[in-house]
Chains A and B, each alone.
Chain A
Amino acid sequence: MAKTKKENIRNFCIIAHIDHGKSTLADRIIEMTGQVAERDMENQLLDSMDLERERGITIKLTPVRMSYKAKDGKEYIFNLIDTPGHVDFTYEVSRSLAACEGAILIVDASQGIEAQTLANTYLALDNNLEIMPVINKIDLVSARPDEVAKEIEEVIGLDGANAPRISAKEGINIDRVLEQIVELIPPPEGDDDAPLKALIFDSYYDNYKGVICFVRIVDGTVRAGVKIKTFNSSKVFDVVEVGTFDPHLKPKASLSAGEVGYIAASIKSIQDTTVGDTITSVDNPAAEPLPGYKKALPVVFSGVYPLDGSKFNDLKDALLKLKLNDAALTFEPDNSAALGFGFRCGFLGLLHMEIIQQRIEREFDLDIITTAPSVSYKVYKTDGSMVVVNNPSHLPPATDIDYMEEPIVKASIYSPPDFVGPIMDLCQEKRGVFLDMSYIDSGRVRLLYKLPLNEIIYDFFDGLKSRTKGYASFDYELDGYEKSDLVKLDMMLNGDVCDALSIIVHREKAYARGRAIGEKLKDVIPRQMFEIPIQACIGGKVIARETVKALRKDVLAKCYGGDITRKKKLLEKQKEGKKKMRRLGTVEVPSEAFTSILKIDSE
């Protein structure tokens, strides 16, 4: 079977450090190819989630198909797949890379190369993509395109001199980008007549059409009526519709090798199509699946519980639906003495956790409680066995533990040299081990540190930003496990241990952390009818204590002139507020208490 080049197709994505203008360039490209009339364009078309617009970040990948008439007179089809920029979503990036032949690498003309610029470049290189650098934001007064071009050559080893110098915002030199896409990014290869191999790189659930799979056809052709199956499931489905993204779904007669599009096959169950799986046809199946890509492993875990215990099944449905297009999310049923039935969820990082949390609340209208995040620890027991624990309440009794290991990351931090001192202080506080420091150019330093993951998941990023006035950027990769002196820190409310507030922490940090959590809880737990001691303890030994004093005054003033309606409304409001609290033993705890302990600066 002969692979043929699909000369007129270009599949590419855009990679960049956060805020370097990825979505703006994507919008500009879409606009220039006339895909969407300018008046119909909302800003940043591809960031379709409310959350993405609000935060100005891209979380999900969104594909769009465009046609472009190049200067050589030929018509090309561009498939652009947008990618997230935040370190938590490296995995999502790798998914879109697997569906492309090339990547546009954007570098900010004033900021230069940042942590994710490099991280994403390496990812693209791992996927054998052609990387096409672009220098953006040349309209800024602080732009220094010549130096940045040099950085691109020296740090990444790409051709910086030919990189188009553009302003996506002002629409300057976008035509150069389009021409380079045609010139530099290789066309896809594939055999239309070979057995079908389609890589699922994303999916979501549509109430009318069932599961919509986003696919890259590697070999073969697919059209409505074809019977298909995936390699991970035995179920067979009839294709109902195939099509492309304009960026909304646009039905098409068929999709063939090299194309990016979607397949709808009345797939009802979310579990039947896993992102990363390969679709093939039943009549002429492929012998082997595509390699897919490295499975994303969750690194941060936390309990998610419905505020209203009876909403357990609603929460389960919400998580199932979210998992459909967020394969990195994991969850399993969990049970907390304090919070009842819920789920232990795994996330790629804290931002991912926060986003899932907000999506559950907004898209599914559920009030939830999220417990303190934890990483996965390896616990070696005295009987010689080892268990992996990511939930502090599952930690074996201290007497059964021989020793524990915690996950370590290798972190690269990019910053102007002025901030090296504060960064080193921060890493020191976070139990970091210095590995290396090098100059990128006279204005930028790269620091390498080994850091425990459980120090990073709390407030490392915030601390880094505040100590460097926002100038430093940061990226990390997991780097195995190391032995560590860890303890379980419990919080007791009015004498009862609240398992949802327990954390695993380094012994040296336990006291400070216990005190900080106690203080925070004291602030967020409202005064109640009795005094509430808040105690932090390790193995039953109290190491810190705070007290929420008993409520002293909670009464409506003067029922003046008989205006009882107003008083009644005030009481009803108070009652509503009480419903938002969770009763733990004898104590009413507002749901923000659980997340507030995240935002503790351990100083």
Chain B
Amino acid sequence: MKHMRPLNRKAKRIDQFVASLDEDVVALQNPGARPHVPMGCALSFSPGWEVDSGGGTAGLCQPVERDIYDCYVTCFWPAQVPDHLNNYPDWASKCAVATKDWRKLDLVYP
């Protein structure tokens, strides 16, 4: 923990517990190796869908407009948003902050 320094054994156990809440679960890997995180919203464990690791919902996809970039940039999802990679690279160029500028996102007509 950054703001509470553990000074006895019990405090160190609490410190480890709190740290473990934010760690990736890495199974069957060499110590030190980073877990392989595949691209794609269904596989990357980015927050955004239900709840955070502590069971909370603050700071997730609120407002929902924030989700647009999870679909448009990091994970091409043709059913909901235009294709950023090939046909509509400038679709979101006028939308600097999704929570404020979401109205500038328009429909596209292929």
Asked if chains A and B come from one complex, the reply is no
A positions within 8 Å CB-CB of B? none
